[in-house]
Amino acid sequence: MTKKEAFLSVMRNEKPTAFMGHAFDANPQAVDFGPPITQLFYAIIDPITTWDILQFSGERYKDNWGVTHRYILGVDPGIIPLTDEENQVIKDITKWRDYVTFPEIPKDLDWEPAKKAVAKAKAAGEFVMIPSFRGLFERLHSLETFENTVVDMISEPEACNEFFEAYTDWKLEVFKQIIDNLQPDAIHSHDDLGSKNSPFFSADTFREILKPHYKRLYDYCHSRGVLVQHHCDCFVEHIVVDFAEIGVDMWQGALPSNDIVKLQKQLDERGFNMLMMGGIESAIVDDVNAKEEDIRAEVRRAIDTYAPGGHFLPCIGSINCLVDKNDPIVVDEMNRYGAEWLAKHR
């Protein structure tokens, strides 16, 4: 059984468990196309993502959407929207069409580096995943202030729905080109919908404003034979069953602040096989002062607590530790102790 086959078996929640270890063990371990793109977790980067997101860096810059950002390589953990009342693109959500110009995807993008990386990964029996950043909610709160976004989703649901419908159309074209050119096993769809300990909005708001559009997006992926990994390293236990209902095959970022054990039971009761990838407390393992024994103990706690319930593989919410020296320890313990746990429970 290849790593990819073992991973897919766990994703389907098959018994006996085929694998227990680092959730990204079956993915390509490093992809480097050179500056400005260096290793980006366990995925292969497509040229649309480079053009739309990754080509930019600096103290203060505007992207293709007119959004002001900061991203200093080697300093910032990620791209940081600097959206405020003065520079926000959308001044009035009810008139968003007057402010937003959807950028046209260039027809001359170079797909060859990504195609070669995909071919190499598939030849090695690896699980090929292409990331697509700026999900529905994250796109809107980069175009207007975060505060205005959460207020608008409650007070102007019709306008927000219209925006999300239009943005979903744009994302569908992105997904179509990715699948046409690269035929990945999965698309990693990125949209954070809460903080560590609380959601940004209610389940009712999610179901009214976001759920229909995400279902349309993910139904398309499934119609093309592509799985969906949704990144959301937040407290979202109130809508995790909704994730399964819209076609999320893998929820990546299942923080332990969520009641993962309860969610495992809920998935079982409803007959869903959605994989939860996470369970490890980043505050323990991704601390510059963390001791190795504490890092390994936290990994073991996560496996011992969540592996028995199924629908689970361990990883940290941010995928890689921001403290570089800690990451190899976390990955090693996930695979070392995961194999030990598996030997006892098969």
φ, ψ at 278 (rounded to 5°):
160, -130
Taking the C-alpha atoms of residue 22 and residue 4, their distance in angstroms, rounded to an integer, is: 13
75 is written with which tokens?
Answer: 């300093």
**8 A C-beta contact, residue 132 and residue 49:** yes
The answer to whether the Cα torsion of 155, 161, 166, 169 is positive or negative is positive
> How many CA within 13 A on the CB side of residue 293?
0
For 135-151, the pLDDT digits (tens) are: 999 999 999 999 999 99
State residue 263's pLDDT score: 98
Neighbour tally for 142: CB within 10 Å: 25
For every one of its 346 residues, what pLDDT tens digit does the chain have, with 9 covering 90 and above? 899 999 999 999 999 999 999 999 999 976 555 555 554 579 999 999 999 998 898 999 999 999 999 999 878 888 999 999 999 999 999 999 999 999 999 999 999 999 999 999 999 999 999 999 999 999 999 999 999 999 999 999 999 999 999 999 999 999 999 999 999 999 999 999 999 999 999 999 999 999 999 999 999 999 999 999 999 999 999 999 999 999 999 999 999 999 999 999 999 999 999 999 999 999 999 999 999 999 999 999 999 999 999 999 999 999 989 898 999 999 999 999 999 999 998 7
Q: Which domains does the chain have, with CATH numbers?
A: 3-345 (3.20.20.210)
Strands 312-316 and 250-254: unpaired
State residue 76's pLDDT score: 85
CB burial string 52-82: b at 16+ within 10 A, e below:
bbbebeeeeeebbbbbbbebeeeeeeebebe
Q: How far is CA 226 from CA 40, 48, 175, 322, 323, in A?
A: 21, 18, 10, 29, 32
DSSP code for 73: T
Strands 250-254 and 227-231: parallel
Q: Can you state the percent helix, strand and coil of the chain, rounding each to 5?
A: 50, 15, 40
Taking the C-alpha atoms of residue 201 and residue 28, their distance in angstroms, rounded to an integer, is: 35
**Nearest of 65, 60, 26, 208 to residue 143 by alpha carbon:** 65
The answer to whether the Cα torsion of 142, 145, 146, 149 is positive or negative is negative
**8 A C-beta contact, residue 75 and residue 66:** no
For 313-324, the pLDDT digits (tens) are: 999 999 989 898
Taking the C-alpha atoms of residue 277 and residue 24, their distance in angstroms, rounded to an integer, is: 9
Taking the C-alpha atoms of residue 104 and residue 177, their distance in angstroms, rounded to an integer, is: 13
CA angle 237, 233, 336 (to 5 degrees): 105
Q: For tokens 């006892």, what's the residue? A: 344
Cα of first residue to Cα of last residue in the chain, in angstroms, is: 16
Listed in sequence order, the residues at least 6 apart from 61 whose beta carbon sits closer than 8 Å to its beta carbon are 68, 69, 70, 71
Taking the C-alpha atoms of residue 152 and residue 170, their distance in angstroms, rounded to an integer, is: 21
Taking the C-alpha atoms of residue 96 and residue 163, their distance in angstroms, rounded to an integer, is: 7
